[in-house]
Copies of this chain bind each other. A is one copy, B any other.
Amino acid sequence: MPSSETLQFHEPARFPRGFTCASRNVGLKPSAKDLALFVSDVDATAAAVFTRNHFPGAPVMLGRETIRAGRLRAIVVNSKVSNVATGTAGIDAARRMAAAAASEIGTTVDRVLVSSTGVIGVQLPVELIERGVRGMSGELQPDPLVGAYGIMTTDTHPKALSASVGTGAGAATITWVAKGSGMIEPNMATMLAYVFTDATFDAPTLDRLLREAVHDSFNMLSVDSDTSTSDTCAILANGHAGAVDEREFARVLKAGCIRMTEILARDGEGAKHLIRAVVERASSDADARRVAKSLVNSPLVKTMVAGADPNVGRLLMAIGKCFDCAIQSDETDAWINGYAVVRGGRRLEFEDAVVRDTLRQDVVELRVSLGAGESGATAYGCDLTQGYIDENAAYYSS
């Protein structure tokens, strides 16, 4: 599997040919940007995946319909109000938001994907969006960070990446724009991730490539184990660069999704560390994923990283509590930042001070070999600090 670290990202990030974006304050928030618009100059092939939460927001319900055609011209996103648990009025508001954006850029309502993020259970003041979107087509710019600023909520910085597929005149570009701070969101802040490319793909292929990339990236991200009602990841391919090698595209797409996942985890609420949990020699992909997620979701592992303590017992506990996984407890080995700390299910003697020191690094890697098979998986998370409690205990929903 390609590591995100072997991929060369553009500096600064840029859009593929034909994509632009704009963002504005339209009055949902006091002054910060609260509306973003991403546009392709021609209809793009498109695919998307959405939250599995049983209470999806109105934009997710509408988006599932819209994406069936496999074609998009634009994405319009507001923050502050998520338009979730708002009934049929919420669906109407989402449709009006799509129509307003479509009218502004000269396309039809069924070519616009809508996302909303923010508080749940409040009706969307859609007239502010209808009024606010007017004239945005005149502000469209080729810098993806402009759009990334427009979709931020609790993120501490805007998030955009881009990379090339192939070289020379036939090269295509992939650009990722996302907000966090997790799949799994403090304040229902929602994970939204949009991918733009000028490569040519048909919609079924694009859908398959997106699902494969998301499987190993955004779906392995956990900030706090809470799954938002609005999560959306969409990809648009406008074809301006023509066909590219599918394997190379898939490799770059997945590597960029993994890198963006790491960026989102690192910017989880209150986080000071990225935790990468690498599970090897599991008996199945499902087991590997479950153990890796168990490690990044364990409050005791998360606080151990926050406190820079090489607590081997907490690692064994988090592995061992995956009751339904095939785990050979006396074949289990573990490493913290490359240092062996468990062999055959027993704690090894190790240089405590040295390992403790490595836990102060920005990235903490917990590696586990289950000795049960040949499958592996990596999950991405962050430490649990007082910052998380501060932000979420102080949050007022009304």
Contact = CB atoms under 8 A, between A and B. Distances in A.
A145 to B, nearest CB: 29
A121 B346 contact: yes
A32 interface: no
Contacts of A56: 320
A316 interface: yes
B227 A321 contact: yes
A interface SS class = loop
Interface string A67-104: 00000000000000010111100000000000000000
A84 to B, nearest CB: 7
Interface in A234-267: none
Given A52-B323, A85-B342, A393-B385, A313 B352 contact: no
B389 A188 contact: no
Tell which of A323, A388, A396, A398 has the most Cβ of chain B within 10 Å. A398
A92 to B, nearest CB: 14
Interface in A370-398: 384-386, 388-390, 392-398
Contact of A398 (B119, B298, B310): B310
Contacts of A322: 54
Given A55-B329, A317-B188, A389 B389 contact: yes
A74 to B, nearest CB: 27
A226 interface: yes
A40 interface: no
A12 B194 CA distance: 62
Interface stretch (A19-27, A131-139, A202-210, A299-307): A299-307
Contacts of A225: 225, 297-299
Nearest to A297: B225
Contacts of A390: 386
A48 interface: no
Contact of A300 (B226, B385, B398): B226
Contacts of A157: none
A392 B304 contact: yes
Interface residues on A, range: 35 or more
A53 B394 contact: no
Contacts of A299: 224-226, 299, 388, 392
B85 A347 contact: yes
Nearest to A353: B398
Contacts of A312: 85, 120-121, 397
Given A54-B323, A313-B119, A319-B55, A307 B85 contact: no
Given A120-B312, A121-B313, A303-B393, 20 more contacts: A53-B321, A54-B322, A55-B317, A85-B345, A87-B346, A121-B316, A187-B300, A225-B298, A225-B299, A226-B299, A226-B317, A226-B318, A227-B320, A229-B320, A304-B395, A307-B395, A352-B398, A385-B389, A386-B389, A388-B389
Interface of A: 52-56, 82, 84-87, 119-122, 185-188, 224-229, 297-300, 303-304, 306-307, 309-314, 316-323, 325, 327, 329, 332, 342, 345-347, 352, 384-386, 388-390, 392-398
Closest 4 CB pairs of A and B: A120-B313, A121-B347, A307-B393, A54-B320
